[in-house]
Chain A
Amino acid sequence: MRAHEGEPVGLIEEWTGAREVIVVDAVSSGAPPGTIHRLDPLAEPIPAALSQGSTHAFGLAETIELARAIDRLPRRLTVYGIEGERFAAGRELSPAVAAAVEAVEHELRGRLGNPAGGGREAPDADCGAQS
């Protein structure tokens, strides 16, 4: 698992050679806080409502589209977007968002064969968290 902060273009290099990539990110699309968006960018582009969340010039959606344009998308890619609630500096997660984070964690543990408790050496996927 890798935490990737700041501008997301570097994800293209991070996921080079990975068999499967799962990206977990916060989103702000107007959906109720704690909504979990499960996206398959290989099947369809990230919806416009979900691509406005970055304060940097190049967001996650742009990074994925750039990777698509130069044929650098991984073979399997899932994006979990968790709808945030409190975006002010220094605020902790709201209960709805904390519950969603836990739900995504549980889902990923199940999906990756419970790497924390199942005794596997390493997950098959690279998991990039980008904020």
Chain B
Amino acid sequence: MTETRTIKTDLLARVEGEGAMFLRIRDGRVDDVRLRIYEPPRFFEAFLRGRGYREPVDITARICGICPIAYQMSACAAIEDACGVEVPAAIRDLRRLIYCGEWIESHALHVFMLHAPDILGYDSAIEMARDHRGVVEQGLQIKKAGNALIRVIGGREIHPVNVRVGGFYRAPRPRELRALVEELERARELALETVRLTGGFEVPDFEPEHEFVALSMPDTYPLEGGRLISTGGLDIAPGEYEQHFVEQHVPHSTALHSQLRERGAYLCGPLARYALNSEKLSPLAREAAADAGLGPVCRNPFRSIVVRSVEILYALDEALRLIAAYEEPDAPHVDVPPRAGTGCGWTEAPRGLCWHRYELDEDGTILAAKIVPPTSQNQASIEADLRGFLAGNLELENDRLRHLCEQAIRNHDPCISCATHFLTLEVERF
């Protein structure tokens, strides 16, 4: 007799956007695993065609209300590459500083509001807040410090208006940044406490083998550029991305699945960044990670909350370093005259690699655009996690299994709104 168990969640809670989970177990074996993404595709790449080359910075920021800086920075990098312009170090540093703000606010939202309730055994942050008010307050304070950084440099907290191709419309005055120091220092103390807190969380024992893919910069933890490396030996420049990666449609998702052409699924995001770059963290972040029991590589996705906490601490430490060294640049931006050509750029969004490519004509009109956000890259690995975790825990009863499998998805902080920014629509007619 065939015994079939079906576990499904029609609307996943505590992920950004709309998705569902479907798991089928037949005769004691995992039969089918799907992270279903049904949020409608959003066609951003098509919006960009025919627009001017200065516009993607503001248009692509609208892909996500949590990580707009990632889109702005990747768009700038790709368009400047197409135009053959490199921005000076002072502007790069300012970009890194605003990006720190985004890591802080995005990671704080996930760690405290979306992920911690899973691990502490609550259905929501609201329920958790009734018993752990201090933890929630701590999260809000850290997040506020990140938002303040984005507001001061970006002009406002969400979808900042001060970022442009070539740099910024206006560079902040040193005193405007120094005014943030006290709040950032306080947040750094709280972030240190957060690493201790999340480091003590009890999580399932689960160490899947993923190929980790992340940017690498020579002397520092990667945010705003670098080469793309992996635990499988990848080492490429932005323009080589499409030689190594391919995006595919799968029937159960409105988001494209990205794969390594040669080796299939891979994982980007905090676990990958940390595994490939942990020795480049600041001494404070490195020490906190070691005290929390993280080795140089963490493979357990249930412990990604610890890695995110370490990255919050690092981003605060790095922001304070950049502010201490800040001098107002001679000009807030450099001139970027248009030229015909194709350019590629990438940065590390909080959830992982965000790659853009633009093809421009000689007056800067966009002929083609392509954007690969982190969540579409991680879908296949999230499904692999579900499959692996399920196979090792089939003895659990359905409700417990459903909860842990939902958590296996939330471990990766998927942003479905980002992932569904584009899909080619294919219509079959008979």
Instruction: Decide: A5 and B159 in contact? CB cutoff 8 A.
Output: yes
User: Least Cβ distance of A66 to chain B in Å?
Assistant: 5
Cβ-defined partner of B66 (8 Å) among A56, A69, A70, A90: A56
A10 near B: Cβ within 8 Å?
yes
Q: In the complex, identify which listed stretch (B130-138, B253-261, B305-313, B401-409) lies at the interface while the others stay far away.
A: B130-138
Count of A-B residue pairs with CB < 8 Å? 72
User: A6-B65, A56-B65, A58-B109 in contact; A70/B417 too (CB < 8 A)?
Assistant: no
In the complex, chain A residues whose CB is within 8 Å of the CB of B334:
none
Give complex CA distance A57, B144 in Å.
Answer: 18
Give complex CA distance A5, B158 in Å.
Answer: 6
Instruction: Decide: A65 and B109 in contact? CB cutoff 8 A.
Output: no
In the complex, chain B residues whose CB is within 8 Å of the CB of A65:
126
**Interface bin, chain A:** 20 to 34
In terms of DSSP, what is the predominant structure of the interface of chain B?
helix
User: Least Cβ distance of B148 to chain A in Å?
Assistant: 9
Instruction: Decide: B143 and A56 in contact? CB cutoff 8 A.
Output: no
Instruction: Decide: B129 and A55 in contact? CB cutoff 8 A.
Output: no
Instruction: Decide: A10 and B144 in contact? CB cutoff 8 A.
Output: yes
Cβ-defined partner of A6 (8 Å) among B39, B113, B129, B158: B158
Give complex CA distance A27, B114 in Å.
Answer: 23
Instruction: Decide: B140 and A57 in contact? CB cutoff 8 A.
Output: no
In the complex, chain B residues whose CB is within 8 Å of the CB of A7:
65-66, 109, 158
In the complex, chain B residues whose CB is within 8 Å of the CB of A62:
124-126
User: A5-B65, A57-B14 in contact; A70/B144 too (CB < 8 A)?
Assistant: no
In the complex, chain B residues whose CB is within 8 Å of the CB of A43:
none
Instruction: Decide: B43 and A70 in contact? CB cutoff 8 A.
Output: no
Give complex CA distance A9, B65 in Å.
Answer: 12
Within 8 A of A (CB), among B197-248: none
User: Least Cβ distance of B116 to chain A in Å?
Assistant: 13
Within 8 A of B (CB), among A54-75: 55-58, 62, 65-66, 69-71
User: Least Cβ distance of A14 to chain B in Å?
Assistant: 9
B15 near A: Cβ within 8 Å?
yes
Instruction: Decide: B16 and A55 in contact? CB cutoff 8 A.
Output: yes
Apart from A9-B109, A66-B113, A69-B136, what 15 extra A-B contacts exist at CB < 8 Å?
A6-B65, A6-B68, A6-B159, A9-B140, A10-B157, A12-B140, A13-B147, A57-B14, A57-B15, A57-B109, A58-B125, A69-B130, A69-B133, A89-B43, A89-B47
Instruction: Decide: A70 and B42 in contact? CB cutoff 8 A.
Output: no
12 CB < 8 A contacts A-B: A6-B159, A7-B66, A7-B109, A10-B143, A10-B144, A10-B158, A13-B147, A55-B16, A56-B417, A62-B124, A69-B126, A70-B136
User: A57-B113, A89-B43 in contact; A13/B137 too (CB < 8 A)?
Assistant: no
Instruction: Decide: B129 and A70 in contact? CB cutoff 8 A.
Output: yes
| Number of B residues with CB within 8 Å of any CB on chain A | 33
B167 near A: Cβ within 8 Å?
no
B17 near A: Cβ within 8 Å?
yes
Instruction: Decide: A13 and B144 in contact? CB cutoff 8 A.
Output: yes
B185 near A: Cβ within 8 Å?
no
Give complex CA distance A66, B143 in Å.
Answer: 15
In the complex, chain A residues whose CB is within 8 Å of the CB of B45:
none
B193 near A: Cβ within 8 Å?
no
Digit string of B77-113 for contact with A (CB within 8 Å is 1, else 0)? Answer: 0000000000000000000000000000000010001
Which residue of A is nearest B125, CB measured? Answer: A66
Which residue of A is nearest B43, CB measured? Answer: A89
User: Least Cβ distance of A7 to chain B in Å?
Assistant: 5
In the complex, chain A residues whose CB is within 8 Å of the CB of B417:
55-56
Digit string of B136-170 for contact with A (CB within 8 Å is 1, else 0)? Answer: 11001001100100000000011100000000000
A109 near B: Cβ within 8 Å?
no
Instruction: Decide: B137 and A58 in contact? CB cutoff 8 A.
Output: no
